[in-house]
Amino acid sequence: MNSNHNDTIIIGTGIAGLTAAAELSARGRKVLMLEKNDSTGGHVGQWSVCFPFGISGRELAESILPQSNANVSIRTRSTASAISTLPDGSLSVSCTDGTAHSARTVLLASGYGMFDARLKEELGYGIYPGVLTSEDIERQWQKGERPLAGHSNPRFAIVHCVGSRDLKCNIRHCSKVCCMVGVKMATEIRQRYPDSQVTNYYMDLRMFDNGYEELYHDAQLNYNVQFVRGRISEVAPTNDGRLYIRAEDTLLGKPLRDKVDALVLMIGMSAHEPLHVDGEPMNRSINGFVGTASPVQINLTATPGLFVAGAAKGPMNITEVLADARAAAAETDKYLSR
């Protein structure tokens, strides 16, 4: 397939890819987008509500790139497998379906994977039906489903840092957004189930961005969400179909036991397997995500013409991704103008 007329190929149509595509097309660049799934929007497009201001994830994703954009074409169900440099310095992206596409630049906006909660087997995900991940709940809510509909006074436990900052999983990095997602989800649960009780189990809460601390206080003062500093060590089923949990309250220095109806795991972000560029796996940063050419060249990889944007580089929240994608688009445009 001859697609040499493209200025850039963007791998991934999450909010990073869409933002960069919007920026580049506004600058008159022709963009081809490759998406492995059936639809665009990435992870954010599947979130029901985004913190801290309660915007719908799908609406956010759909608002970024106008539907009919003459400069942008999108190929769904196209999984990029490798990138190679052509003799004229342009780049070729080959896909698992056998097609290859070339352009002068490639922007990697392939995002992240969700941590596989089954690897924290002690939390019982995939074994006990009452154990859900943050992703499961967001999707169910977005589809209009209502988990635990039959329960009166349902008790929820929200577990932070599942697959983040956990050496037992060989993961050192902080996934940044889950603290806030956990707080947001607690208030969301309290709104949707007014008779519910919610307890968050955290290691420490990193309320670093605008509006976060306020929502944390709001959750405690107005939604009566309990916060316990400690990790859940053990989950077992009870005879009445609930979950028996054991944890340590590290502020009181005491072991703690409880029975809950649902356990919600705040799963972290994990890096995708590195793409192969010119036959070699791409450089990775210390946390396993895509590495950049230097600490200050935040969007350029070691390969000329190959740029990277968004959470492919490591955990980011939405506003950070939007800013990073615009920066990457600017860098790409500058490179194309040379």
Partner 1 sequence: MITPDNFNIFVIPFTLGMTFVIIWLLATIVRLWRHMPQADRRRVRHSILTVSTLRAAGEIVAEVLIHRRIWKRNKFLGYMHMSFAFGWFMLIVVGKFESLTYTGNHFNPIWYPLFFKFFVPGEHEFFLSAFFTQAMDLWLALILSGQILAFVKRRMPGRTIGIRPRHTAVNRAALTALWFIFPLRLAAESVTAGIHGGGGFLTGTIGQAIAGAPVLDSLFMPLWWAYSISLGVFFVLIPFSRYFHIPVEGFLILARHWGVSDEATIRTLETLACSACGMCLRVCPRAQGDAPRMQPVYFIERLRAGRDNDNDVWGCLGCLRCEEVCPVVVHSTQIRMARKMQAVPQRRPQPAPAPVPQARQGVDVALFAGCMGKLTPGTKAAMNRILQAAGLAYAWVDEDEDLCCGRPLRLSGRTGEAQARMDRLKTALLALNPRVIVSTCPICYNMIRAAISARPVLHHTDFVAQLIDEGRIAVGRSAQTLTYHDPCELSRMADISSRPVSTLAKVGTLKQPDECGRESHCCGGALGGLAVAGHERTRLMTATADYLQRPGAQTIVTACPLCKKSIAQHAATPVVDFAEAIAKSLKTSSINQ
Applying CB under 8 A, the residues found at the interface with partner 1 are: 119, 121-122, 124, 126-128, 167-170, 233-236
Nearer to partner 1, 86 or 236 (CB): 236
Going 223 to 224 to 228 to 233, the CA torsion angle's sign is negative
CB of 245 to partner 1, least distance (A): 12
CB of 94 to partner 1, least distance (A): 21
Nearer to partner 1, 27 or 231 (CB): 231
CB of 124 to partner 1, least distance (A): 5
Nearer to partner 1, 236 or 252 (CB): 236
Cα–Cα distance for residue pair 302/285, rounded to 1 Å: 12
Nearer to partner 1, 108 or 235 (CB): 235
Residue 101: both structure tokens together: 């596409």
Distances (CA, A) of 107 to 61, 97, 153, 263, 307: 18, 20, 49, 38, 5
Place of tokens 């169900």: 77
Nearer to partner 1, 99 or 233 (CB): 233
Cα–Cα distance for residue pair 99/122, rounded to 1 Å: 43
CB of 135 to partner 1, least distance (A): 20
Nearer to partner 1, 1 or 286 (CB): 286
CB of 275 to partner 1, least distance (A): 16
Burial 55-79 (b: 16+ CB within 10 A, else e): ebbbebbeebbeeeeebbebbeebe
Nearest partner of 75 among 52, 106, 48, 101, judged by Cα: 101
CB of 234 to partner 1, least distance (A): 5
Terminal CA-CA length for the chain: 26
